[in-house]
C-alpha cells in the first residue's frame, strides 16, 4: 500500500511536469505538479475507501492527474 502511494505521487509529478513542458497547460511547472499530486491523492484515497477506479494504481494516477489538470485551472479562470 505504501509503495502504491509513493508510485502515485511520482507518476502524478511526471504527468504534471510533462503537461507543462508539452504546452498542454500554462500554469507553471510547480503549480501543475501540485495540482496533479492533489488530484492523485484524492483519487488514491477514493480507491481505498470505495473501490472506484481502474485495477492498476498507475492508471488511476495518470487518469486522476490529467483530470485534475483539466478541471482545476478551468474552474478558477474567468
Q: Where are the domains of the chain?
A: 2-72
- 50 band by pLDDT with thresholds 50, 70 and 90: very high
Residues whose CB is less than 8 angstroms from the CB of residue 14 and which lie 6 or more positions away in sequence, other chains included: none
User: Whole-prediction pTM value?
Assistant: 0.86
pLDDT higher than 80, residue 1: no
- In the three-class reduction of DSSP (H, G, I as helix; E, B as strand; rest coil), residue 53 is classed as coil
Compute φ and ψ for 30, nearest 5 degrees: -65, -45
Buried b (16+ CB within 10 A) or exposed e, 48-65: eeeeebeeebeebbbbbb
Residues whose CB is less than 8 angstroms from the CB of residue 75 and which lie 6 or more positions away in sequence, other chains included: none
Amino acid at each position: 500500500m505504501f509503495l502504491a502511494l509513493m508510485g502515485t505521487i511520482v507518476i502524478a509529478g511526471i504527468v504534471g511536469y510533462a503537461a507543462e513542458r508539452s504546452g498542454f497547460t500554462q500554469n507553471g511547472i510547480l503549480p501543475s505538479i501540485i495540482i496533479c499530486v492533489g488530484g492523485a491523492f484524492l483519487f488514491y484515497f477514493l480507491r481505498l475507501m470505495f473501490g472506484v477506479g481502474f485495477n492498476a494504481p498507475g492508471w488511476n494516477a495518470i487518469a486522476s492527474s490529467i483530470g485534475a489538470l483539466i478541471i482545476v485551472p478551468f474552474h478558477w479562470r474567468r
